[in-house]
Amino acid sequence: MDKRLKRILPKVQKPSRYTGGEYNQIIKDKSSVDLRVAFCFPDTYEIGMSNLGMSILYQTMNSLDFVWCERVFAPWGDMYAEMKEAGIPLYALESGDDVKEFDVLAFSIGYEMAYTTVLDMLDMSGIPLRSENRDDLLPVVVAGGSACVNAEPMAPFIDMFLIGEGEEMDNEVLCLLHTAKLEGWGKKQFLTEAAKIQGVYVPSLYDVEYNGDGTVRTYTPHEGVPQKVLKRIVEDLDSSPYPVNPIVPSTEVVHDRVSLELFRGCVRGCRFCQAGYIYRPIRSKKPDTLIRQGIEAVQNTGHEEISLLSLSTSDYRPLSYICDGLLDYCESRSVGLALPSLRADNFSVEIMEKIQKVRKSGLTFAVEGGSQRLRDAINKNVTEEDVLNTCALAFSGGWNTVKLYYMLGLPTETDDDIVGIAEMSEKILHCWRVNAKNKNRGVRITVSTSCFIPKPHSPFQWEAQISQEEYLRRVNLLRSSIKAKNVVYNWHDAETSVIEAALSRGDRRMADVIEEVFRSGGRLDAWTDYFRYERWNEAFRKCGLDRDFYASRERNVSEVLPWDVIDVGVRKSLLIREKERAYRSELSPDCRRNCSACGAAALLKGSKCDE
């Protein structure tokens, strides 16, 4: 270990997150590999090590014998300061080698607030921030992850984006780079060749022109480059790589458990939900594959919990079957089962009772909107009756805490809808009084609201975000409407939401703002400890960009959007239709009752959507 590092580690909080050496880490002989990949997660170790995508791709890339892929995370503030002072550049955990020596920096960008941390990690590595200032083929700076469905705000910094799922695409790119490195290609030659791989978006090969009003006029691809980049998917999840030997952190991380992914995509089509559109089509894993992988992963890690992941776990048809199959193994070994993302229905309570024999955690409902009209407008198929019935069952079964999540500022929301949130909490309280087995223990109902952020590739991608003042007015309205003392109301600050709204629908000019924030000290902006609203506003002013043009401007459906260059497989006409239906508070049936022919099924070659 680096001598300088040895001196600073005893001084920082939780130093084991900066050392590597965990069980199941992959160590290779660096003299026997041709490509070294620094897999960079632009957030802390605890967050990055909880990310299933990172765990999958770490193993996928390392399955190539000419590649050694290592992990890199962003240090917390104390470690950052110590590293700067000691002059230690960013290093990879497995080998401890400087990131600058690597051939590839691969960033996983899952959320917009991580943008400044990407720049920080490049800078800590001593690598120029902008693609145009990196002339050589190596290192190649690539990025993937769900935030890249609008790649434009980060386009000037990243050589190539990998859009969609990486299991196959990443290795195709690494194979091409292998050839390029051995044959001594130039950067331009490699990027032009890579752009032919489906899912690869090389922003420098597209010229953007703007209209006088600041909107995008055109995207012009260079010769031989596709007009639009079609996202990549893995067709068969059963045969696609899943890490049954994931790294076991030696310190506590956010999700310290085995994660099993039941299926990708979602049949629900909630209109505010980006994930519900960008992960289509629906592909499920077979229940026996999941049971086998879950058991193997528990054996290989010693984890005490398995979490079943998906966007809507109740929609996994054989859910009961795999719960039974896993419980058979888990119960005698004190391994717990966790099911986030359950829908508010009776079936969920049955499943919950099955898996929570020992400890009853709280119930959580994402209700999103305060009235049936508004829930219809956003296509959130949850009725008040569903919620009350589920609560009745749960209260009579001994549960006594309920959490309810809502968004304020959804399109078409009125004050009546907001008062409806308070009314619903009262009804749940009443439901507890009627159904609770043991009233002595009391009940706790928590209502949380956040400010709605319109996201690219969702039917609400053209909508205006409400202003911060308006959000606070609505928060106060709700506060004064909630009277019961058993109901606790928490609201998220709107400041981060405003910036996130601007970033998520930004164009390439936004890169200047991101760089300016970074230059004035911004990093780890996803953390309230580090996020400074004023720093962002100041950067917008300095760069001559209008934050509200991006955050709170309603777009016309005919406008060229910065993310139109990315095709996630869902037709724009469907998004327009869904937006129009929202304004009529009209529901769309879920994909299983009536396929909306969104277009995503065309991404499948040999199978059908939701088979």
Q: Which residues contribute to the site for other proteins (CB under 8 A)?
A: 1, 6-7, 9-10, 14-16, 18-23, 25, 248, 250-252, 299-304, 333-334
Q: Give CB contacts under 8 A, 24+ apart, made by 591-598.
A: 591/267, 591/268, 591/269, 591/282, 592/267, 596/269, 598/277, 598/280, 598/569, 598/570, 598/571, 598/574
Overall size of the chain counted in residues: 611
Residue 604 structure tokens: 């499948």
Tell me if the bond preceding 243 is cis, omega within 30° of 0: no
| Cβ 300 to other proteins shortest distance, Å | 7
> Nearer to other proteins by C-beta: 232 or 257?
257
> Nearer to other proteins by C-beta: 11 or 217?
11
> Nearer to other proteins by C-beta: 37 or 297?
297
- In the chain, the amino acid numbered 522 is G
Minimal CA–CA distance to 261: which of 312, 299, 298?
Answer: 312
| Cβ 9 to other proteins shortest distance, Å | 6
Residue 591 structure tokens: 């994909």
| Cβ 248 to other proteins shortest distance, Å | 6
> Nearer to other proteins by C-beta: 330 or 487?
330
Minimal CA–CA distance to 378: which of 163, 577, 586, 554?
Answer: 586
- Three-state SS string across 374-422, please? HHHHCCCCCCHHHHHHHHHHHHHCCCCEEEEEEEECCCCCCHHHHHHHH
Could you tell me if 231 and 145 are in contact, meaning their C-beta atoms sit under 8 angstroms apart? no
| Cβ 120 to other proteins shortest distance, Å | 23
The angle, 0 to 180 degrees and rounded to 10, between the axes of the packed helices 510-519 and 115-125 is 60
| Cβ 45 to other proteins shortest distance, Å | 12
> Nearer to other proteins by C-beta: 20 or 48?
20
> Nearer to other proteins by C-beta: 64 or 335?
335
> Nearer to other proteins by C-beta: 20 or 144?
20
> Distance between CA 44 and CA 50 in Å, rounded?
10
| Cβ 20 to other proteins shortest distance, Å | 6
| Cβ 330 to other proteins shortest distance, Å | 12
Could you tell me if 400 and 449 are in contact, meaning their C-beta atoms sit under 8 angstroms apart? no
Element (H, E) at 324: helix 319-330
> Distance between CA 338 and CA 298 in Å, rounded?
14
| Cβ 78 to other proteins shortest distance, Å | 14
| Cβ 2 to other proteins shortest distance, Å | 12
Q: What's the gap between Cα 196 and its chain centre? A: 26
Query: Which residues, 6 or more positions from 606, have their beta carbon under 8 angstroms from its beta carbon?
Result: 235
| Cβ 302 to other proteins shortest distance, Å | 3
> Nearer to other proteins by C-beta: 87 or 184?
87
> Distance between CA 412 and CA 581 in Å, rounded?
11
Could you tell me if 240 and 167 are in contact, meaning their C-beta atoms sit under 8 angstroms apart? yes
> Nearer to other proteins by C-beta: 19 or 215?
19
**Residue 223 exposure: Cα atoms within 13 Å on the Cβ side:** 1
> Nearer to other proteins by C-beta: 86 or 182?
86
